[in-house]
Amino acid sequence: MNALEYTPIAATAFAVPQFIPQILKLRGTDDAAGVSWSWAALTGVNNVAWLSYFILERYWTALVPSSSATFLAGTLAILLTCRGQAKLRPAILVGGWAAILVTAYLVAGRTGLGALLTAAFAVQVAPSLWTAYRTPHPTGISSGTWLLILGELSCWLTFGLYRSDPRLIALGITGVTASTLMLARIRQTRRLDTHAPSQLTVRCPSRGRARRLGSDRASGPRTPARAG
């Protein structure tokens, strides 16, 4: 057997723990800034569809990462819901996308489902990019999760090229691009944090009050002391 046949196993190694860093960060910090509920929910829905596609195509080794992504993305969506991140309109859109996937399979079978899955990851990742780049300070995003997504989708791109599967190729290219953009946004946020002016509070004994030094150091002009 060609070594590239084992590429889905490598994807599994990246995919199984994929959402754990994001889940742990959310539980540990309660910081959901920049994390999209729609992304988590669509990831769960799309991976159910991919699971069905892999079964129909008999890509047995691909079932494990799809199952893991379905479960963990669903868990993340629930955690975000508990923190008030779920809204009615996005929920309706996610439900509508799920209905479209089911309809495509019922009407056109495996071909119809596969055609939609070609665009599924773009639909899935668009809310995460939108939220990350629209949020002024997206400190809640986990770089660990997006590094694992980058690793997994790189494997699927390789496997898709090997099997000449346009759906997996499209998935891989979209995933690698999206992951790179998300990691760039995370790095930008950290750089801004690093260069942000710190605030230091010192006490002036002679006046018995505190003065804050930092970004608001120059709150107004000072009156020079008069020698006398």
Residue 54 tokens read as 């892999």
Per-domain boundaries in the chain:
33-191
| Residue for token pair 């994001």 | 22
Q: Are 214 and 197 in contact (CB under 8 A)?
A: yes
Distance in angstroms (rounded) separating the CA atoms of residues 212 and 208: 13
Tell me which residue of 210, 194, 153 sits closest to 176, measured CA to CA. Answer: 153
The average confidence (pLDDT) of the chain is: 84
Position 69: which residue type? A
Q: How far apart are the first and last CA of the chain?
A: 94
Distance in angstroms (rounded) separating the CA atoms of residues 29 and 48: 29
The model's pTM: 0.76
Per DSSP, the three-state class of 225 is coil
In percent, the amount of the chain with pLDDT more than 70 equals 84
Per DSSP, the three-state class of 223 is coil
In percent, the amount of the chain with pLDDT more than 90 equals 50
Tens of pLDDT, residues 74-109: 999 999 999 999 899 999 999 999 999 999 899 988
pLDDT at 74: 93
Tell me which residue of 143, 131, 225 sits closest to 186, measured CA to CA. Answer: 143
Q: Residue 165: count other Cβ atoms within 10 Å of its Cβ.
A: 17
